[in-house]
């Protein structure tokens, strides 16, 4: 029997933590708590023993964004941010800093569970991927699904879970445009909604990181009105 998934809930609202924790425990998760960024940091300093972090953006003292900035990219544990309804700028900044997804507060606990499971699914090799597609190599970029690593000319490219999956989807469809709706469903495991910029931010980060190692090549093109296309390698 496998061990329960370990979550670290970082939020200064103790009552809300208890309510969410009780619900998550009932869903089979093991929940630990930190009521400030300062309390959470020592738990994440050495080896992170959690499968996923749930991080409130607005906290007294050090903010959730500041904590996220401190732990990335050293800690690769997936992160779901909890944000106020009107904090779109903070959501975008959080995604740029390496968060995997976000959810507005107050949040529906059932939706939180769905988001947790969706994020965790991204970190595993999809069942339909066989050994022939476990590795992709295009334009000197090697993407290894089994190790969840990307390298360019032997140099590792540090990507978050969502960024890895964005690149994997586009490389697998090299030469074909993939719509924003399709990317949202395949990478974030949810429907694209109005004003949802999560995929845009993840894709922008992938472009930036590729450009650091391949500055002369624009490999991901925007196809207006259609989506995004990873340039196919000429045979």
Q: What is the pLDDT of residues 180-214, one digit of tens each?
A: 999 998 888 888 887 788 899 999 999 999 999 99
Q: Are 220 and 229 in contact (CB under 8 A)?
A: yes
Q: What is the mean pLDDT of residues 130-138?
A: 68
Sheet holding 220-223, edge to edge: 177-178, 227-230, 220-223
State in Å, rounded, how far the first CA of the chain is from the last one: 48
Q: Are 192 and 157 in contact (CB under 8 A)?
A: no
pLDDT at 133 over 60: no
The 3-state secondary structure of 51-65, one letter per residue: CEEEEECCCCCCCHH
Q: Which domains does the chain have, with CATH numbers?
A: 6-122 (3.40.50.2300), 131-230 (1.10.10.10)
Least confident among 121-125, 149-153, 168-172: 121-125
Confidence grade of residue 145 (pLDDT, cut at 50, 70, 90): confident
Mean pLDDT of the chain: 86
Instruction: Count the neighbouring beta carbons within 10 Å of the beta carbon of residue 56.
Output: 23
Alpha-carbon distance of 200 to 228, in angstroms, equals 10
DSSP readout, 171-198?
Answer: HHTTTSEE-HHHHIIIIISS---TT--H
Confidence grade of residue 127 (pLDDT, cut at 50, 70, 90): very low
């Amino acid at each position: 029997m496998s061990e329960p998934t370990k979550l670290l809930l970082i939020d200064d609202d103790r009552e809300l933590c208890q309510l969410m924790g009780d619900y998550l425990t009932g869903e089979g998760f093991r929940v630990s708590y930190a009521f400030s960024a300062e309390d959470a940091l020592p738990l994440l300093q050495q080896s992170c023993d959690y499968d996923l972090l749930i991080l409130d953006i607005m906290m007294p003292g050090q903010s959730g964004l500041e904590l996220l900035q401190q732990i990335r990219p050293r800690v690769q544990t997936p992160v779901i941010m909890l944000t106020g309804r009107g904090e779109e700028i903070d959501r975008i900044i959080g995604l740029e800093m390496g968060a995997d997804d976000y959810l507005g507060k107050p949040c529906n606990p059932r939706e939180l569970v769905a988001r947790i499971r969706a994020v965790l699914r991204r970190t595993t090799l999809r069942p339909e991927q066989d050994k022939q597609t476990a590795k992709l190599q295009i334009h000197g970029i090697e993407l290894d699904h089994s190790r969840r690593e990307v390298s360019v000319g032997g140099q590792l490219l540090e990507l978050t879970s969502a960024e890895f999956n964005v690149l994997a989807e586009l490389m697998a469809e090299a030469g074909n445009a993939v719509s924003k709706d399709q990317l949202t469903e395949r990478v974030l495991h949810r429907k694209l909604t109005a004003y949802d910029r999560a995929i845009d931010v993840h894709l922008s980060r992938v472009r930036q990181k590729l450009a650091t190692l391949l500055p002369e090549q624009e490999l991901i093109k925007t196809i207006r009105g259609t989506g995004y296309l990873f340039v196919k390698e000429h045979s």
